[in-house]
Structure 1
Amino acid sequence: MKAMILAAGLGTRMRPLTLTTPKPLLQAGGKCLIEYHIERLVAAGVRDLVINHAWLGEQIEAFLGAGERYGARIQYSAEQEPLETGGGIRKALPLLCDRGEEPFIVINGDLFSTHPLETLLNVRPPAGGAHLVLTENPEWHPEGDFALNAEGSVSESGPVRLTFSGISVMTPALFEGVDSENFALAPLLREKMRHNRISGERLQGYWEDVGTPERLANLDRLLRAGSI
């Protein structure tokens, strides 16, 4: 299985930190955010990685290189302008699916999580769909995103709504019929939910959307204290 790390965002909520440094290269616990993803994917047995980038993307390529020091093989999908999440994944499909139509892992580059990625290696999403890892709603997003049903399907609404963690397994067929180059992922997922094409599971372990300087600082404190 291959994996894609999404690293093309502008990082506007992280300014001024991201005026000169792309968000995935910001550090917490003495290590760049994106390095945690690479190391955990490699530890899980996923060594073929694709990373997209746009804003200051040359810094990401210069820092990570081809991935040898992590035991990984990294390819890059450069975007002249950020294509949003859906567009970025769609553009990278030739790199992710060069061996066939197997599903692949997708992880947002601006999160930190200890969810066991090994469990995703055997996940087979519904045909033409995706499998989402959902987490308890953080205080800054109390309404959640989607509902995880008892049988493992994910729907737009339900009695218990959870937040999409930014960790998923996707099929290339999820993007069939999409003509736009620049599009968000959420509307596409909602459309597939209406056709029972999205499954899910609850996140295990720690999770943080590292979207602001305050959250980055808090994560840094926790990692340095050995609390995670």
Structure 2
Amino acid sequence: MKAMLLAAGRGERMRPLTDSCPKPLLKVRGRPLIVWHILNLVKAGITEIVINHAHLGQMIVDTLGDGSQFGASIQYSAEEQALETAGGIAKALPLLGDAPFVVVSADIYIPHFNFKECLNTLEDNDPWGNPHPPEQRDIAWLYMVKNPSFHPQGDFALTLMGLANEGEPRHTFANIGVYRPEMFASIKAGEYAKLGPLLRDYIDAGRIGGELYRGEWHNVGKPEQLQALNAPLQFTQGKA
């Protein structure tokens, strides 16, 4: 399995920090946000990684290089203008190959997520080894979290049959998902496209499953959130 880290966003809410540093390179507890993902992916045996970038993207390339320092192999998908999530994935498809791949937003903080869980989420066969017809296979698998205070309404309902656009209880998309490449086949390379409408369409078609992740998860959206995450480190250093 390959992985894609989404790192093309401008990080407007994180300004002025992101005026001179791309958001994925901001440090949490002494390590850039994007490096936490790379190390956890490598730990799970996922070493082929694609990273898209736009705003201050060369800084990401200069910092991470070819990935060898982490035991990974990194390729880059440069975007002149950020193409949004689905557009960025579609542009990177030639680098991602024909098999399902995991996609993670580079600016979330999930220090203990075990990416081994992603390896077999999209099975081609049923539990008895019989192949699913292509049109009936799950096309994506999303990881959900309990609704944070800033997003109390959630995104999707998690049911026994998969995800639903309506219903209760609702949970928030953790910005971690496993996708089949054909999900993005209708998007032209270089086309601006959001992920949300695509997800909702396939959820209505009954082709997206998911599960609830209960570990530590933070959407690092504002400087105050970054400061709060780093406060324990600062306190420890201050006492030393």
The TM-score normalised by the length of structure 1 is 0.93
Match of residue 119 from structure 1: 117
Return the offset for 1:219. Answer: 1.5
Give the Cα separation in 2 of the matches to 1:105 and 1:224: 33
Conserved 8 A contact 1:105-1:120: yes
Q: Distance in 2 between matches of 1:53 and 1:148?
A: 31
- Secondary structure in structure 2 of the residue aligned to 1:182: coil
| 1:217 aligned residue | 227
- Structure 1 counterpart SS, 2:66: coil
Separation in structure 2 between the aligned mates of residue 106 and residue 169 of structure 1, nearest angstrom? 6
- The CA distance in 1 between the partners of 2:76 and 2:143, in whole Å, is 24
Shift, 1:37, TM fit: 0.3
Which residue number in structure 2 is paired with residue 19 of structure 1? Answer: 19
Equivalent residue number for residue 172 of structure 2: 163
Q: CA deviation at 1:198?
A: 0.6
Matches within 5 A, 1:30-179: 30-97=30-97, 101-113=98-110, 114-124=112-122, 127=137, 129-151=139-161, 153-179=162-188
Matched residue SS, 1:122: coil
Amino acid at match of 1:120: C
Residue type matched to 1:172 in 2? P
Q: Is the CA contact (8 Å cut-off) linking 1:54 and 1:78 kept in structure 2?
A: yes
Cα pair distance change 1:185/1:225, threshold 3 Å: farther
* One-letter identity of the residue aligned with 2:141: H
| 71 and 154 in structure 1: CA distance in 2 versus 1, 3 angstrom threshold | same
- How many Å separate the matches in 1 of 2:164 and 2:18? 35
Name structure 2 gaps, 5 residues minimum. 124-135
Percent same amino acid among aligned pairs? 47
Give the SS at the match of 1:168: strand
Q: Is the 8 A contact 2:157 2:167 kept in 1?
A: yes
Runs of 4+ in 1 over 3 A off after TM superposition: 125-128, 222-226
* Count of aligned residue pairs for this structure pair: 222
> How far apart are the structure 2 equivalents of 1:197 and 1:137?
23
**Displacement after TM superposition at 1:221 (Å):** 2.4
* Higher gyration radius (CA): 2
Letter in 2 for 1:60: I
TM-score (norm 2): 0.89
Structure 1: runs of 5+ lacking an equivalent: none
